A and B are shown apart, each in its own frame.
Chain A
Amino acid sequence: MIERLTAGVPRRALVLLGVLLAIFLVLPVLAGDYVLTVLILILYFGYAGLAWNIMMGFAGQLSLGHALYVGLGAYTAGALYVHFGIGPWIGLLAAVAIAALAGAFVGFLAFRFRIAGVYFAILTIAVAEFARVGFDHLSWTRGSAGLFLPVAQYAHNDLWHLRGHPVMFYYVLLAAIALAFVASRLLLQSRTGYFWLAIREDEEAARSVGIDTFLYKMLAVVISAAMTAFAGVIYAFYYNNLFPEQVFNITHSILIILGPMVGGIGTLFGPLLGAFLLESLAESLRTLLELIGVDLPGINQLFFGIMLLLVVIARPEGVWPWIATRLGLAGAQK
């Protein structure tokens, strides 16, 4: 399997990958608490971006409401823990199931009724908004007042209940990204991956060679939703509080797509690179401004908006493809 994974990838890229992995493994030891939180954000958005990428980058469907799946995953696992004491890894199963169902619902609406392009994007926004307002009134999850998870002491790290020091979350997310990476690569090289590429390129032509485009588009949406649900579970147990206003917010959805957009849609490294660039630069900017006594709410997002604008205008395919060719790493694309 290692052979299959690394086929066609230039030597340099593999070395770089190894080096990056090593760096990320030891980073928490060197980083202070503040940097650690930034790193966790990077990993979170890197992972969510990867999951989103499966839908957009591979199957060509632009989802602007991915926060829906984060929220559903977070609330499912969170509520199960609060009401029944069910641990997050068990809760994850339910979270994934519910998010997958939601994805299937959105996909079915869209694909059966031929809703595509801008209409599909608007549909995804509307469904996420529907969930936001809906959860505001759902008493089982404490509505707009917010769902609070009981916080334990950080005396020791309880992996099973995901209670503990942020470092634990860091490594969990890192492992998740690594797995998502491998899974994406395997998928792309499989029959399913090839069919997704065909659908993305030309759906009509794909049908003419026998591809059941409805099925494969549904698959992309459901897999993407299910993967995103995991991010939601982490979100719930890391922040320990959930508000529909924040979790299902359209801004959250947009933040998820910023990484892949800036880094490169449809590539494996893109979402990670994008998340890294955006978060680290934004935090640096904010810290800089704080140093000179300027505290502007919204400066982070303003920065994201400007970055997105620049990338869309100047490098629409993202930063990663450009870097990859520069460094002779091309081929790590697929």
Chain B
Amino acid sequence: MASEGALLAHDAAVGSSTGPFTRVHSQALRTKLDQLEPYLKDEQLARLAADIGEALDGLPEQPRRAESQLDAASEKAEELAR
């Protein structure tokens, strides 16, 4: 979810997307994340999910900031998966 959000944020930041698509799709990703959060028992994962959620919330208005947050979250997720 973080990787997908980062791709979306990147395209929004460089003007390769449209406003409605960025807003609606980031909201859809946020909804999926909300559905996942109750099942995250691990504290680190829960914190990571909260960070991803915050970045997705801010994505339509501040895509550059969201991109760096989501890139970092994506790397963290990979680290945790290992």
Verify that A and B bind, or say they do not: no
Interface residues of B, Cβ cutoff 8 Å to A: none
